[in-house]
Homo-oligomer: A and B are copies of this chain.
Amino acid sequence: MPIQRPRSRYAQVADDLREAIKRGTYGPGAALPSQPELARKYGLTQTSINRAIGLLETEGLIRTERGIGSFVLDIPTVKRVRRIPPRGRGSGSSFAEGLQKAGLKPTTKLVQAEAIVPPPDVARRLELGEGELALIRKREMFADGRPVQLAASYVPMSAAGDVGIAFPDTGPSGLYERLAERGHRVVRFMEEIESRRPTEEEADFLKIGKSQHVLEVVRFAFDRVGRPLDVVINVFPTQLWKLTYEWAAEE
């Protein structure tokens, strides 16, 4: 590969590596050659190679870990559809459904379930006063072992009554039934969607670069008088998911 002038050299190196990745020379998960090695190969200094690597990282093609190396990320081929609102049964676990249909094995890990003072943005959304408690349930979700989604749900303790309401852990529809038994019926849902850069922890868990984006979907459930009964915050990488909403035209 001859290095030519008009285009910057590090950009040409990035081009070359990008091509190699697309050709499959470095498949998903494979490590790129080390920076000193690439420097020798292209006849540049490590500084320039480092910059090329940075470019690919920004583009979301690779992820580099300090002291280890740079690794090719999965190339987003087919996006998994997440259907919202769900057709038919309640607002059940569209997560598992979607993945199973795609031939992937969904697994979920409950990492937190307790009564806490929620972070201020959640408290505001739940219309909680200073220091009021909420039941948090935090989950990590995987498809064939690969981390694909983070979910945190918050229910005001005033509505939940007891931490035990979270168990057995049957997903939102089970929770809503138990809330209904306590006199809190959900009559309306709302979802807010935005795309943003991931936090450090999110990027770490989802194994994505800092420059890739995540979709944050916040679902609110309201009772008859418009009070929020729970807030669910879902976060997933934009490359993996596509959202779908569907509704009937008015007559």
Interface of A toward B, CB cutoff 8 Å: 58-59, 79, 84-86, 89-91, 185-197, 211, 213, 215, 221, 238, 241-250
Contact = CB atoms under 8 A, between A and B. Distances in A.
A187 B249 contact: yes
Given A58-B211, A211-B211, A213-B238, A248 B187 contact: yes
A47 to B, nearest CB: 9
Contacts of A245: 84-85, 190-191, 193, 245
> Which residue, A84, A244, A247, has most C-beta atoms of chain B within 10 A?
A247
**How many copies of this chain sit in the oligomeric assembly?**
2
B190 A193 contact: no
15 contacts: A59-B197, A85-B245, A89-B250, A188-B246, A188-B248, A188-B249, A189-B246, A191-B245, A191-B246, A192-B242, A192-B244, A193-B244, A194-B238, A194-B243, A195-B215
Given A195-B215, A211-B211, A189 B249 contact: yes
Contacts of A89: 250
Contact of A238 (B190, B196, B242): B196
Contacts of A241: 194
Given A85-B247, A247-B247, 20 more contacts: A59-B211, A79-B194, A86-B247, A86-B250, A89-B250, A186-B249, A187-B249, A190-B245, A191-B245, A192-B242, A192-B244, A193-B242, A193-B243, A193-B244, A195-B213, A195-B215, A195-B238, A211-B211, A213-B238, A221-B249
